[in-house]
A and B are shown apart, each in its own frame.
Chain A
Amino acid sequence: MNSKIISALTFFALLIILPAITLFRPKKEFSDEENRYLAKLPKFSASSYANKDFMNGFDAYFSDHFISRTRFKRLSTDIELMIGKTQINGVYILPNRLIAKVDEAENTSVNKSINAINTFSSKHPDLNMSIMLVPTAQDIYAASLPHNSPHFDEKKFISIVHGGLHSRVNTIDAHTPLQSTRNEYIYYRYDHHWTTLGAYYGYTTAAKKLGFTPTPLNNFDIEYAADDFYGTLYSKTLYDKIEPDRIELYHLNKGVKITKVEIDTGEVIEERDSIYFREFLDKKDKYSVFLGQNQPIVNVHTDNDNNERLLIFKDSYAHSMVPFLMQHYSEITLIDLRYINVPVDELIDIEKYTQAIVIYNTSNFLSDDNIIKLGF
């Protein structure tokens, strides 16, 4: 048979078999691998035709449900690495870990955020206000990034932010302790968060500034709750050639206990008796074992009766610090500014808190334009 005929036949075989399997096999709603909902088949109507929602939605649907999507994506990652690329989808691939790139260009509202924090602290002069910006792995492991990679200097960034804040705001340096413990397991290999140990080092520095003696590590029993955690950076690259992560839960072996955890989703208030949401240990998104996914307001009550109350404005980095901070307070309230739309003092009674702290990783602090809500 002539080779052109073989070309034609194999081409048509591919063109028929791949879409046939794609269309006729059962569809998934959620991709664990990529940690997101897959596109649904759009409805055809005059308006979805006219504004192209149907066409764009269909393209997304067909691509999201394409046969062997994960394997195809992994193949493209492998080829990219083969031809010398060192980052995939904004993630550096290192021999022993994945590291999220920080894009300096996203710096659009940092000055407004700083002003908002200043405004908030001057509106509430009795509240002892602190800030802790946590560096991300791309800064702590800057020396291990692929040769010549652009690197965002977070230490410098943090000191610029600190310089812009009113002297009333206590600044907490998380960079130094993390830098000096960089050879320990302080960042996940497949996820952009710090590990529980990393959060512990953050806590020891913060506690001193907040006026407490940090509890030594040997007062905690460490539980290895999961050892197959593939986090957000895995989802972005589907790169799977390094060791999966371990989720560690630290339990205080004696002392303060949690009495009640209230999750205010904005619609309902859900009550729990633990800061550990163990159902997430069986899911893809295992980091959410720490107080679940981001919610507008979370209240943590303890049996500590010192009447110290802490208000945290935070991103998800703060979640893994709560197991350490909780022992020093009778109540901790976490507010995620991304999910609230009214001024903070309309939402909670700020007077009852003794301290407030802003906890963000530098990358989020750089790009998030919700921190300005503190100034409202």
Chain B
Amino acid sequence: MVFSSLTFIFLYLPIVLLLYYIAPWKAKNLILLITGLIFYAWGEPYYVIIMIISTLIDFTAGLLINKFDDNPKMRRVFLIVSVVMNLSLLFTFKYSSFIVTNINSAFGLKIFDPKLPLPIGISFYTFQSMSYTIDLYLGNIKVQRNFTKFAAYVTMFPQIVAGPIVRYEDVERELEDRQINLTLIGEGVGHFVKGLAKKVLIANNIGMLWQAVKAMEITSLSILTAWIGILAFTFQIYFDFSGYSDMAIGLGKMLGFHFPKNFDHPYTSRSISEFWRRWHITLGSWFRSYVYIPLGGNREGTGKTIRNLLIVWMLTGIWHGASWNFIIWGLYFGIIIILERLFLRNILEKIPAAISTAYSFLLVIFGWVLFETNTLADAGRYIKAMFGAYGGFIDTNARYLLSTNIVLFAICIILSTRAIEQVGEYIATRLPALYQYSAPILEVILMIICTAYLVDSTYNPFLYFRF
């Protein structure tokens, strides 16, 4: 199921919340587990089994790591079992087809490619449950002896399909005991409605513009059409992804959980390093904690640091999907970040904010070309189109696309900055009562408009099927 559907919002959610609120404390985690499985099975009727198996293995590995508390060798064995199991699931379902195709074309072989469809959210839930066994091994958390609680953590519907990547550590305490009250629920509603509006009203709309450009021959694009297209995708992916995270965080609060923040105005960043501290924050911090730092981080000299950064960024790239474009996309950011560490950082700090923001925004946009085209050749052609290889600066198409979407672009730009928050704070200090009570009114209006768009939805994609 996806959050941006009428079935989820107006049927699943009210029933689940009602059951959850009236159930006694002891049953709440069990309800989360069962409803999470239903939520997942709605989209993946078969693969729900894989999630259950993965959860069982990690839970058992946790028990065993704990049992052999004073036997470092055995602890390590069970950690490896858990990590290998999770990575093989990922490998089988996500990367096997990519690897087989590449081996076949490199060596002229005909190894059978099973072409398994990718289970939704597998990259999210395997990373989540790995955080449990790894942190347990490192002694950062205590073992979870109650299967329901552990399984509720993995399968809980808010974060299962598209993040944020909630680490066990983040919710360890709340799995045992959490506060649920109307004020927290109201806060959650605010997050949820904001996220829903970002996804349904902004991302889907600007996404249709990108779809229109994507459908054209790359070699027929004028400079402006190419830029309009990729800018539209730039905003689509941000509002879609951060909208999803906002909805997840909001739903978490309605259930009494505090999930970590996942996006923080990434397009206002003044460097690529800063962009990645603001974009998909939980993924960056996962790789930092479980790959970069264990490899030695930046403590073992420049050479090792560069190696570690390249490994982390290659993995980050390939985490997003099994194709060369994603690998190159990850390495592209890795190299920029290395250059920034080596010398660009000093320059970026000195130049005016407008220039450094433009620098990182442009690099991110070129990154999205790699990310969103299917082959490296297409990416190359698209970038050439952006520089006028196939057309003049402007054509009828570009005029039409721009004139019918200019308002939407303006809204996207404003919502990407902190402008709304700043206006909000200004009103909050001057007219606190107005500020307070306009929130619920705004939320009802947004809910009704989002419902209107969902009833009439012609384009409501789920973008993370490759993650």
Contacts and interface: CB of A to CB of B under 8 A. Distances in A.
A253 interface: no
Contacts of B451: 18, 66, 72
B11 A63 contact: no
Nearest to B43: A55
Contacts of B403: 84, 147-148
Contact of B14 (A16, A149, A150): A16
Contacts of B184: 4
A160 interface: no
A141 to B, nearest CB: 16
Interface SS of B by simple majority? helix
Contacts of B183: 2, 4-5, 8
A146 B190 CA distance: 38
Contacts of B188: 8
Contacts of A22: 10
A63 B449 contact: no
B105 to A, nearest CB: 29
A84 B407 CA distance: 7
Contact of B437 (A6, A50, A58, A86): A6
Given A7-B190, A84-B407, A76 B452 contact: yes
A75 B449 CA distance: 7
A84 B408 contact: yes
Given A10-B444, A14-B447, A148-B399, A79 B182 contact: no
B123 to A, nearest CB: 21
A86 B407 CA distance: 12
A218 interface: no
Contacts, number: 134
Q: What range describes how many residues of B lie at the interface?
A: 35 or more
B14 A12 contact: yes
Nearest to B201: A79
Given A83-B408, A84-B405, A19 B186 contact: no
B13 interface: yes
Interface string A34-74: 00000000000000011010010011001100100100110
B224 to A, nearest CB: 12
Nearest to B193: A11
Interface string A147-158: 111100000000
A217 to B, nearest CB: 39
A14 B43 contact: no
Contact of B440 (A7, A16, A58, A76): A7
Contacts of B193: 11
Nearest to A87: B404
B27 interface: no
A49 B215 CA distance: 33
Given A72-B456, A84-B406, A6 B14 contact: no
A146 B403 CA distance: 10
B30 interface: no
B335 interface: no
B45 interface: yes
Contact of B186 (A4, A52, A87, A149): A4
Residue with the highest number of chain B CB atoms closer than 10 Å, among A22, A69, A85: A85
Given A15-B13, A49-B45, A63-B455, A3 B439 contact: yes
Given A19-B14, A73-B452, A76-B453, A11 B43 contact: no
Residue with the highest number of chain B CB atoms closer than 10 Å, among A2, A15, A73, A89: A15
A11 B405 CA distance: 31
A49 B408 CA distance: 39
A105 interface: yes
A83 B187 CA distance: 29
A83 B396 contact: no
Interface string B186-209: 111110110000000000000000
A72 B43 contact: no
Interface of A: 2-12, 14-16, 18-19, 22, 49-50, 52, 55, 58-59, 62-63, 66, 69, 72-73, 75-77, 79, 83-87, 89, 105, 146-150
Given A7-B186, A7-B189, 7 more contacts: A3-B439, A19-B10, A22-B10, A49-B45, A76-B456, A150-B396, A150-B400
In the A-B complex, the 4 residue pairs with the smallest Cβ-Cβ separation, listed nearest first, are A4-B186, A148-B400, A8-B186, A148-B399
30 contacts: A2-B183, A3-B440, A4-B184, A4-B187, A7-B187, A7-B190, A7-B440, A9-B182, A10-B440, A10-B443, A11-B193, A12-B17, A16-B14, A50-B45, A52-B43, A55-B42, A58-B7, A62-B7, A63-B454, A63-B455, A72-B451, A76-B456, A79-B452, A83-B411, A84-B405, A84-B406, A146-B400, A147-B400, A148-B400, A150-B400
